[in-house]
Structure 1
C-alpha cells in the first residue's frame, strides 16, 4: 500500500486546480457576454479598422452588417450609432476611416469608377466629397489631422508607397472643441 504524503497530494491536485481555474477564466471571458445586436457596438458580422476621435467620444469602423463594407459611427458616451446620411454610397466599398478631434470630419477610402480615392465626410453638412478625384495613382490609409485641415495618405505614384500631405486650406471650418481659440490645436 502506497502512503499518501502531502507532496503526493499536491502533485495530483495542482494540475486539476489550474485546469479548473483556466476553464473558469475562459468561460467568464466568452464572447456571449458581449452585447450583440443591431444597436450595439458588436454584431455577428465583421467589424474592423477602428478609429477613435481625438476627444475619445466617437468610434468609426468598417462593418459588413448590411452586406457591404460601410463606415459606421458610434457614440461611446451615448452608446448608440450616429446617423451619417451621405457617407456610404450604394454599391461602393468604404475603408480605413479616420476621425478629426470631435468626429466632425471623417476621412476614408472609397471607390470612384473602380479606383480607390480619399474622401472626406462632414457631419455638419452631411456631405461627402472626394479629395483625390483625378489622382493618377493608387491611394490607401488616409488619416485626418485633429483640426480637420490636413489629410495624409499613402500613394503609389512613384512605383512605391510614399506619403502625401493634402492641405485643405486656411479657409475651411476647423474641428476645434467648443470654447477653444481658433489658433489652438486640439
Structure 2
C-alpha cells in the first residue's frame, strides 16, 4: 500500500500543471494586445510545446483555443483584431511558414497562404478583421502584402457600432 501511494505521488510531481498567470518560469514571448486592451496573445512553451495562448486581462485567466494548437506545428507572431475574435499568426508545418487565421467564434483555423510559393513572416490583422498584412519574399527581398478577406466577412466590431460601408 505504501509503494502505491509513493508511485502515485511521484506521478503527480512528473506532470505539473502549467501556471495560470503571466510571468511564470516558462518562456513567454511575442505578446500581442487586442485593440480593446482586454486580450493578450503570446507564444509560450508552458505545455512542453510551442503554442499560442490567449490571456484575458480582465478576468486574469487563460482561455481555451480549441483547434488552434496542434502537435508538430510551430506557431509564432500572433496578432489580434479589436475584440480578439480573430487571431492571425504564422503556422509552420515541416519548416514551411504560412499565414493562418483563427476565428474564436467558430473555433476554426484556416491557412490563408497555403500553396503560396514564397516565404512569409510577421502577419498583422486590422482592428475589424478584414485586412491582413504580412511580409513576403516574393521578389527576392522582404516586401509587404495586403490580403483583403472581402466585404462579406463578419467584422470584429463592438456591439452597436455602426458599420461604414464606404468603399
Q: TM-score per shorter chain, which class?
A: 0.7 to 0.9
Q: Which runs of 5+ in 1 are unaligned?
A: 1-36
Q: Tell me how far 1:172 sits from its aligned partner.
A: 0.3
- Give runs of ≥4 in structure 1 deviating > 2 Å: none
Partner of 2:129: 148
Partner of 2:41: 60
Separation (CA, whole Å) in 1 of partners of 2:74 and 2:55:
19
Contact 2:74–2:93 (8 Å) recurs in 1:
no
Separation (CA, whole Å) in 2 of partners of 1:183 and 1:101:
16
Q: State the superposition RMSD in angstroms.
A: 1.2
Partner of 1:86: 67
Larger helix percent: 1
Contact 2:72–2:93 (8 Å) recurs in 1:
no
Larger strand percent: 2
Separation (CA, whole Å) in 2 of partners of 1:67 and 1:158:
37
State TM-score, norm by structure 1: 0.77
Separation (CA, whole Å) in 1 of partners of 2:107 and 2:147:
21
Which structure: larger Rg? 1
Contact 2:100–2:112 (8 Å) recurs in 1:
yes
Q: Which runs of 5+ in 2 are unaligned?
A: 1-17
Q: Tell me how far 1:42 sits from its aligned partner.
A: 2.0
Separation (CA, whole Å) in 2 of partners of 1:112 and 1:166:
21
SS of aligned partner of 2:101: strand
Whether 1:104 aligns to 2:85 is: yes
Partner of 2:25: 44
Paired residues for 1:5-84 under 5 Å: 38-84=19-65
How many positions carry a matched residue from both structures? 148
State TM-score, norm by structure 2: 0.86
